Chain A
Amino acid sequence: MKNLLPALFLLLSISATSQKETATISGYIQDASTGEKLIGAGVYDVKSEQGARTNVYGFFSLTLPKDSVQLRIMYVGYETIEMRLKLEEDQTINVEIKSSEELKSVVIKGKESIQDETQMSSMNLSMAKVKALPVFMGEVDIMKTIQLLPGIQSGSEGASGIYVRGGGPDQNLVLLDGVPVYNASHLFGFFSVFNADAINNVQLIKGGFPARYGGRLSSVIDIRMKEGNMKEFHGEGSVGLISSKLTLEGPIKKDKTSFLISARRTYIDLLARPIIKAAGDGNVGGYYFYDLNGKINHKFNDKSRLYFSVYNGKDRAYLKYDESSLENGIRETETFDQSLQWGNFISALRWNYIINPKLFMNVTGTYSRYKFNVGFNYENSEVGAGVNNQESYQFDYLSGINDWSGKVDFDYVPNANHSVKFGTGYIYHTFTPGVNEVSLSSDGSTNDTTYGSTNQYGNEFYGYIEDDFKIGNRLKANLGVHASGFLVGNKTYYSIQPRVALRYKLNELSSIKASYSRMTQFLHLLTNQSIGLPTDLWVPVTDTIPPQQSDQFAIGYARTIKKDYELSVEAYYKTMENVIEYKDGASFLGNDKDWQSKVEIGRGWSYGGEILFEKKVGKTTGWIGYTLSWTERQFDGLNFGEKFPYRYDRRHDIGIAITHKFNDRVDVGVVWVYGTGNAVTLGLERYLSFDNVFGSGYGEIEHIESRNNYRMPAYHRLDLGVNLHKKKKWGEQTWSFGVYNAYSRQNPFFLEFGYNDNNQRALKQYSLFPIIPSFNYSFKF
């Protein structure tokens, strides 16, 4: 490790000095109609066969020998344009390209081909693809589309949580405009918090992590919001079964300042309220969630831009109960009010500055907050006939995490053979890992108590450098290092994390790739195995709970077949140290102990192979993914120290997602998924306890041979959808009709032992969703 950095800079300097008489072309590539920056677009000089790609802000830099150049600009779903330039000095060009939809023709050629990229174990999701696939209840969901990719496992039926290459739900770095999102779920995990109308680009990385990413072990999901149309005012929206949404965007000052605002809200509670009131039994209950996304983008000049983005989302389930009675002249009144709510608030202020054509800088300040609260308030009064008794009881359970952070990132492109990224950042964390507040009031006296864990604070800091460079015509490498530290209390942890990715081109159409990455995570998530709930607690490392660390090796083969098809085959082996899990019998409820006493520290392993066969262009597009994997955990204090399968150890996992466009008016989508059943813990034999035969108890014990000893039945499901588009004078409307679980497979949600109709003990399976049709009306103007 010690020799890695000098070697990296040596390579860089040799390569930089070996290039003579060069000039740099730099600038932004953006959508011609909206001004939206295009992330990952290719800029390629046909003559010198050198190229570059735009970064996450749409910026590129390409240094070439001074000469006439023939630039080809490419982006999936957009026209490919070529331009000739006489390159005699550094030049800035901002290129606008038209989408193929606008051109009414299928002029779609790819970005850098899969066999050319150094990055492996990664995938970009097009929002058009996400929206074209059939979806649960008509709600387009990025996370559920990600679940269809190989190496990604979903959790329970319908849930949007993901488990990547054997990792836990805490090991995914979900970034919205570069800000971590701590709970990406609405409706108890059935939908994600990302409103697809406000999203521009999604990149998933599950291995071979570039050094710029850190802080989580298993994946990076980098989601970028749209910036807002710089050219003209537009809007889009939809009305569906679950929610409605509306997005508006446009220039505040044309080509200078733009805005985007997007809102979504469910309305089950509003629709049901009159019915509940009509029932008149004193109960009022409901549930809703909402999202708000907003962004302002201001261009000071060609070199300097400022972005401010904000997200606010909340879920709330509530139940109210009122009852009043009159007896013997005494009126007794009871009220009970219970609620469960959680939500994220995220904001980011970013400044992009082009220091020189080869050096791009981004400075970001962010705030992220996740808050969970469950509580109830009970009041009882007896008044009349000389009686006046009042009592109340209030309970609140609070948990959450707050982050303030700042970072600065640089992209340095010294020549066409090197692309260097480096930067540093700092995060100030505040953890509230479970505080109980109780207030008891009776006959005028009040007793308030707060107990549970107290706030904890953490200081996380990091720096990184990586270089993506060519060594000859066939070999390309991305070498880097991510260094990080975490200060909590009087304890400081440090970590040096080397990252290596290699690509060796076998021929023009195929390459082999290999990667190694070490990742360190200073945060843990206390999560209950039985069911994923927003009650999951984020907690920091402590004196006794060390950071999680993983080492992942991957090797793969990538090939383009007949231009339109891509095949990727990968094998991986990942070890995880210091993962945590609740002890036997531990529960998040009744949080009367510090959380550290509830967990065990252990290790995990995951290994397997993945195949992804994808067609990105043409009328029929989509992919078929298959994963074969094994995932295990071992804790000294659990399962009597023996290894056991992880709950989401899934031997076989298949995801098929295909869309077909018949014409501009009709397209259809098909999704089919199959997964080995989840591993759950069941006692399969029962016997008498000691206190039953020698004491006063009546105990029976269900013998659990091992944690996660039993497999639920396999999960599989077919979803179908059709989208009918129609141009209108004012824009375009789309009717989407879908069927979730088309053959109504009863997939397992949970299992328990009970009694059947013959009063015989039996294993029972509960399923959530049979066949569910849905529709959605959406519009754009």
Chain B
Amino acid sequence: MKRLVYLIFPLALVSCEKEIPLNAEVTDPKLVLNCGFEEGEPWEVHVSQSLSVIDNGNLSGVDGATVNILDNNGTLLETLNDDGNGYYSSTSLVGASGTGYKLTVSKSGFTSIESSDIVPSIPVINYKDTVSGTYLGEDVFEITFDINDPAGSNDHYLIQAIGYEDDGFGNTNEYQLWFNVNAPEFENTSPEEYNQIAFLKDGQFNGSNYEITIRADGWVAESNLDSISVYVSSCTEAAYNYAWSYDRYQSTSGDPFSQPVQVYSNVTNGFGIFAGYSTRSFAVEF
């Protein structure tokens, strides 16, 4: 922003900079919950605390909290183990598709927080084809597949693609690929914009088979990649809102020409995200 001012108005060179008091109520640190849970997987939760934006302290995990998983009726399912550094995990409990969960976190000195969400249904995807070609004058590598969307529910999807390469020394390198999807059903659709995550809602194809073509840069076909895996996650609205707003938040951070982004949170009395998702993938071998 400061550079922008210098660019647009030379008089700003004599402008004044001064520290002013933050005229806001000094808020106590709040508990922060980060938890993404999925079908068939044990629970892993991270608890930390927020700081004032002018506090120099490091953001760190909160240990010694009581983290409970409850079902929709309020019945305690499990109290998670404290693994240290703010991490808590279940010993036996795993997420079940279509089931709702509530999580509560309490710790002395903090206001307790809670949140609820469900594990969404598992996405049904079918790989169809790959083609090397051109799109808008650029070499592209296209991967086509379809999603069999369940009827009667508002479903949300996140799509990612990861390339794998054996480095010849027994290690596998992973590359998260940038790709383009040009279809109006996508939140971040555009002929020119390449993203690492595509955001998709089923509003236009609810209950039907929806064919998707993602286009990675043409170098993919000529690279040393051994395979590409496409991951499709069905997620709850909360997970989708968090992922979408956080993606915008990161991509526009520091840009004075952009509107500020509010990152979504579904945690009562605190910050963070508690959201369910289910992921399936397919691999394209080279």
Contact = CB atoms under 8 A, between A and B. Distances in A.
Does chain A bind chain B? yes
Interface of A: 187-188, 190, 268, 287, 317, 447, 449, 451, 528-531, 533, 535, 581-589, 592-593, 639-640, 681-691, 693-694, 699-704, 706-707, 710-711, 713, 746, 748-753, 756, 759-770
Contact of B246 (A529, A593, A690, A707): A690
Nearest to A594: B190
Contacts of A693: 34, 46, 48, 61, 86-87
Given A685-B30, A686-B59, A746 B18 contact: yes
A584 B245 contact: yes
A703 B265 CA distance: 10
B272 interface: yes
A698 B271 CA distance: 17
A584 B249 CA distance: 8
B27 interface: yes
B258 A702 contact: no
Nearest to B184: A597
B52 A685 contact: yes
Given A685-B271, A687-B59, A763 B54 contact: yes
B259 A528 contact: yes
Contacts of A585: 248-249, 251-252, 258-259, 261
Contacts of A529: 259
Interface of B: 1-2, 4-5, 8-12, 14-24, 27, 30, 32, 34, 36, 44, 46, 48-56, 59, 61, 86-87, 137, 190-193, 242, 245-246, 248-252, 255-265, 271-273
B5 A749 contact: yes
Contacts of B56: 759-761
Given A188-B8, A585-B248, A640-B262, A690 B36 contact: yes
Given A687-B51, A704-B262, 7 more contacts: A530-B256, A684-B27, A688-B272, A693-B87, A703-B263, A761-B56, A767-B15
A750 B271 contact: no
Contacts of B264: 640
A589 B135 CA distance: 23
Given A584-B248, A693-B34, A770-B14, A530 B257 contact: yes
Contacts, number: 194
Nearest to A188: B8
13 contacts: A533-B8, A585-B252, A587-B255, A592-B191, A684-B24, A684-B52, A686-B50, A748-B20, A753-B53, A756-B19, A764-B18, A764-B19, A765-B20
A745 to B, nearest CB: 10
Nearest to A285: B10
Given A592-B193, A703-B271, A753-B54, A689 B4 contact: no
Contacts of B24: 684, 710
Contacts of B46: 688, 693-694
A713 B9 CA distance: 22
A1 to B, nearest CB: 38
B262 A639 contact: yes
B199 to A, nearest CB: 13
Nearest to A317: B8
Given A530-B1, A584-B261, A593-B190, A699 B16 contact: no
B255 A688 contact: no
Nearest to B22: A763
Contacts of A639: 262
Given A587-B255, A593-B190, A694-B44, A699 B15 contact: no
B8 A762 contact: no
Nearest to B14: A770
A587 B53 contact: no
A302 to B, nearest CB: 51
Contact of A190 (B9, B22, B259): B9
B54 A768 contact: no
Contacts of A763: 19-22, 54
A584 B259 contact: yes
A640 B242 CA distance: 12
Contacts of A287: 10
B9 A761 contact: no
Contacts of A530: 1, 256-259
Contacts of B245: 584
B240 to A, nearest CB: 13
Contact of B34 (A640, A688, A746, A759): A688
B271 A701 contact: yes
A288 B21 CA distance: 38
Contacts of A746: 16, 18
Contact of A690 (B16, B34, B252, B260): B34
Contacts of B261: 584-585, 704
B164 to A, nearest CB: 16
A766 B5 contact: yes
A689 B1 contact: no
A593 B192 CA distance: 8
Contacts of A707: 260, 262
A588 B17 CA distance: 27
A756 B21 CA distance: 12
A707 B191 CA distance: 31
B232 to A, nearest CB: 18
Contacts of B50: 685-687, 703
Top 10 nearest A-B pairs (CB, nearest first) are A585-B248, A587-B258, A693-B46, A687-B50, A687-B32, A584-B261, A681-B260, A767-B16, A761-B54, A592-B192
Nearest to A591: B192
Nearest to A756: B19
Given A587-B257, A684-B27, A685-B50, A690 B19 contact: no
A746 to B, nearest CB: 5
B252, B257, B262: residue with the most chain A Cβ atoms closer than 10 Å: B262
Given A584-B248, A749-B15, A687 B54 contact: no
B9 A188 contact: yes
A305 to B, nearest CB: 43
Contacts of B248: 584-585
A583 B5 contact: no
Nearest to B23: A711
Contact of B259 (A587, A694, A702, A749): A587
A528 B53 contact: no
A595 B106 CA distance: 45
B19 A701 contact: no
Contacts of A188: 8-9
A249 B264 CA distance: 62
B185 to A, nearest CB: 13
A460 B15 CA distance: 44
A684 B263 CA distance: 13
A688 B193 CA distance: 28
A533 B9 CA distance: 12
A686 B16 contact: no
Contact of B53 (A317, A583, A684): A684
Contacts of A752: 1-2
A529, A763, A770: residue with the most chain B Cβ atoms closer than 10 Å: A763
Contacts of B262: 584, 639-640, 704, 706-707
A593 B246 CA distance: 20
Nearest to B256: A530
Nearest to B15: A768
Contacts of A685: 27, 30, 50-53, 271
Contacts of A753: 53-54
Contacts of A691: 246
Given A529-B259, A761-B56, A449 B51 contact: no
A531 B32 CA distance: 33
Contacts of A701: 246, 249, 263, 271
Contact of A449 (B15, B36, B61, B137): B137
A753 B249 CA distance: 17
B48 A688 contact: yes
Nearest to B9: A188
A66 to B, nearest CB: 65
A371 to B, nearest CB: 18
B223 to A, nearest CB: 21
